[in-house]
Amino acid sequence: MFEDFAPVPVHKRVRSAAWAGDLHWRRIRAYIEMICRPISIAANTLRPALGTGVNHNFADKQFDKACVRTVQYRRNRGWNCKKEVLRDASSPVCFCLILMGKGPHSMALVDTKKMFKMAYNNGYAVGAFNVNNMEITQGIIEAIAEEKAPLILQISRGAREYASMSYLRAIIDVAVNENPDIPIAMHLDHGDTFECCKQCVDDGFTSVMIDGSHHSFEGNIKITKEVVDYAHDHGVVVEAELGQLGGIEEDVIGVEDVSAHLTDPDQAIEFIERTKVDSLAVAIGTSHGAYKFKTAPKLAIDVIEKIGARLPGFPLVMHGSSSVLREFKDLINKYGGAMPDAMGVPEDAITEAAQMAICKVNIDTDLRMALTAKIRQVFAEKPSEFDPRKYLGPGREAIRLMVKHKLQVLRCAGRAAECL
Which residues are marked as active site? 189
Tell me how far the alpha carbon of residue 307 is from its chain's centroid.
25
Provide the CB-side half-sphere exposure for 305 (13 A, CA).
Answer: 5
Strands 126-130 and 151-155: parallel
Q: Which helix (H) or strand (E) holds 360?
A: strand 358-363
Sign of CA dihedral 335, 338, 340, 346: negative
- Give which of 179, 172, 175, 138 is closest to 154, Cα–Cα: 172
Query: Is residue 329 within 8 Å of 339, Cβ to Cβ?
Result: yes
Query: Is residue 310 within 8 Å of 280, Cβ to Cβ?
Result: no
Provide the CB-side half-sphere exposure for 185 (13 A, CA).
Answer: 32
Q: How far apart are CA 109 and CA 76, in angstroms?
A: 6
Question: Under 8 Å CB-to-CB from 53, ≥6 apart: which residues?
Answer: 64, 65
Question: Under 8 Å CB-to-CB from 300, ≥6 apart: which residues?
Answer: 259, 262, 284, 285
Where b means 16+ CB within 10 Å and e means fewer, 163-172 reads: bebeebbebb
3-state DSSP percent of the chain in helix, strand and coil, to 5: 55, 10, 35
